Structure 1
Amino acid sequence: MANVSATERTLDIIDLLADHPNGLPVSEVARRLKLPKSIAHRLLSILRDRNFATQDSTTQHYRLAIRTASLGLRFFGNIGLYELCQPILTRLAQRTGEFVRLCAAENGELVWIASAQGSSEGLRYDPTMQAGPALHATANGRAWLSTLRETDALAQVRRKGFILPRDYAGSSHTSEEQLSKKLKHIKERGYAVSVDESVIGITAFAAPVPDREEGPAVGCVSVAGPSVRMSQSREREIMPDILAAAIAVGEIWPIPRFFAP
């Protein structure tokens, strides 16, 4: 830990608290990040004093402040993300009647950045926008990996291994050999499917958002819903819409326009 800077530790705390909207006590932050309690307390106090975190007066738990989330929203607003992408997601949600999400690739990870709900009543899937999808165990993750060179795809998975977040139901891919075969199949047909993996009873279809420079996908568009509705016939019915939406997002993807060298 001696070689880890205070900045890195602070960022780790922000990343941890993002998954705990009800907050965590200092002792739990220290335990999860393997920090001395005194250091965890000092860094949390700095975040609180700068209004990036708040502390509950009753429980003494720390959680992220609204200001922290607003930074991301401000960034998305400045690059025009919502104005450009949201209408495409909304139309796809209306056409499919299911939950639609868009994730972006950044530093070897996928991050949820926008969503639209197409189901207004009855059985529906309505998850929170928490940490991005596990690469080897989700339709989005595998769809994105399929656009990388095989060695690069396996290297990305190898960073975290085949270990799943504790809220995941499981995965049908538990080895590099299995994953390689699956990625080749996904590359051939152009999209990925996940059944009862991240959540029991939920099926997702995902298509990669193509890069205009013909590199790896910049993200993925997915449609997810109760497995009882997401049959093979349903897959054939809605996949053209998902693929079209992914292409449409790729055509107006804002990141290259603002950050091109």
Structure 2
Amino acid sequence: MDMTVEGGSLKRGVLLLKILASAGMRGLALTEIAARAALPHPSAHRVLRQLVQERLADHDGETRRYRLGPLAFELGVASSMMYDIRDLCEPAMAALAKQTEDTIYLVVRSGFDAVCMHCHEGSFPIKTLVLDVGSRRPLGIGAGGLAILSAVPLEEQAHIIERIAPSLDRYRNLTVEDLAAACAQAREARMAVIRNRLNLGVSAVGLPLRNAAGQPVAALSVAAMSQRVTTRRIPMLADQLRAAVAQAETALRWAGV
């Protein structure tokens, strides 16, 4: 790929990849990409053409929109095999469990689902083990999945909710409208709060984890008995979560994830 560092083309290519990474499955038109990158149309088009040639970007001839290409996915898979996100997040999770004394969960996005990757128990005598490592459920159902879903672009969010709609009634008759409202509330509050949705008497607070491209690829959450997740305590849990998320995201960036 002819992207010279001297001419700045490599930096432009990385910038456009980051923009495409935040665009979701539908992608973006050339005009939108050029505007976000603050580049002239011919320059953006030239770099995009190079990215398409190298399979880092994909161009839909019908919609004339660009999105991430298959090589970007393949590189992401290779990176995930080199760096175990559980190991990278473990120090932050351990510190958070010690602070809160509650159960800390790490979930990662897998398509339209949130998969539990790791769990760290706190010292509080009554445990809230509501997720098994390796289990999966639709995005938006638990606090971690809701944190991820509320952080994706609105157009992609609507598409995800549409795709998972048939399975929502299994979760206490949750509706599409309920989930969309929960996403809006989480986005406004900058945190996801779940009360008694999956297990009576259990509440949780979650925040998204973003990769180097700014995509919400995972989430950390604190789960506890509902009596412990009081209106007064939620802001403190959110602050503790933000510190843990910042620590985990730093570890991810250092590892190149």
Interval of TM-score (by shorter of Structure 1 and Structure 2):
0.5 to 0.7
Q: Is the 8 A contact 2:140 2:147 kept in 1?
A: no
CA distance in 2, matches of 1:197, 1:114: 21
Per the alignment, do residues 79 and 210 of structure 1 end up closer, same or farther by CA in structure 2, a change over 3 Å counting? closer
Q: Is the 8 A contact 2:211 2:253 kept in 1?
A: no
The alpha-carbon deviation at position 250 of structure 1 amounts to: 1.8
CA distance in 2, matches of 1:144, 1:76: 18
For the aligned residue pairs, the C-alpha RMSD in angstroms reads: 2.6
Gaps of 5+ in 2: 1-78
Q: Is the 8 A contact 1:136 1:162 kept in 2?
A: no
Residue 213 of structure 2 aligns to a residue whose secondary structure is coil
Question: Which residue is 1:104 aligned to?
Answer: 108
Q: Is the 8 A contact 1:210 1:247 kept in 2?
A: no
Q: Is the 8 A contact 1:81 1:254 kept in 2?
A: no
Q: Is the 8 A contact 1:104 1:112 kept in 2?
A: yes
Cα deviation 1:44-94 (Å, max 9, x = unaligned): xxxxxxxxxxxxxxxxxxxxxxxxxxxxxxx97852434321111011001
Q: Share of identical aligned residues, percent?
A: 21
CA distance in 1, matches of 2:86, 2:197: 29
- Residue among 129, 150, 159 paired with 1:126: 129
Matched letter for residue 124 of structure 1: K
CA distance in 1, matches of 2:211, 2:82: 21
Cα deviation 1:11-59 (Å, max 9, x = unaligned): xxxxxxxxxxxxxxxxxxxxxxxxxxxxxxxxxxxxxxxxxxxxxxxxx
Structure 1 segment 210-229 matched on structure 2, within 5 A: 210-214=210-214, 216-229=215-228
Cα deviation 1:154-192 (Å, max 9, x = unaligned): 2112223152485x5x26x412x4433332221122110
Question: Which residue is 2:148 aligned to?
Answer: 144
Is 2:97 the partner of 1:93? yes
Question: Which residue is 1:174 aligned to?
Answer: 175
Structure 1 segment 158-237 matched on structure 2, within 5 A: 158-164=162-168, 168=171, 170=172, 173-175=174-176, 177-214=177-214, 216-237=215-236
Q: What TM-score do you get using the length of structure 1 for normalisation?
A: 0.61
CA distance in 2, matches of 1:240, 1:234: 10
Q: Is the 8 A contact 1:79 1:254 kept in 2?
A: no
CA distance in 1, matches of 2:166, 2:144: 16
Cα deviation 1:106-151 (Å, max 9, x = unaligned): 3232211111000352x22123225224323322222111111222
Segment drifting more, 94-103 vs 124-133: 124-133
CA distance in 2, matches of 1:77, 1:97: 31
CA distance in 2, matches of 1:156, 1:255: 30
Q: What TM-score do you get using the length of structure 2 for normalisation?
A: 0.61
CA distance in 2, matches of 1:135, 1:84: 22
Residue 129 of structure 2 aligns to a residue whose secondary structure is coil
Residue 253 of structure 1 aligns to a residue whose secondary structure is helix
Question: Which residue is 2:5 aligned to?
Answer: none
The alpha-carbon deviation at position 209 of structure 1 amounts to: 0.8
Gaps of 5+ in 1: 1-74
CA distance in 1, matches of 2:149, 2:87: 27
Matched letter for residue 149 of structure 1: P
CA distance in 2, matches of 1:255, 1:139: 26
Residue 203 of structure 1 aligns to a residue whose secondary structure is strand
- How many corresponding residue pairs? 178
CA distance in 2, matches of 1:157, 1:240: 28
Matched letter for residue 197 of structure 2: E
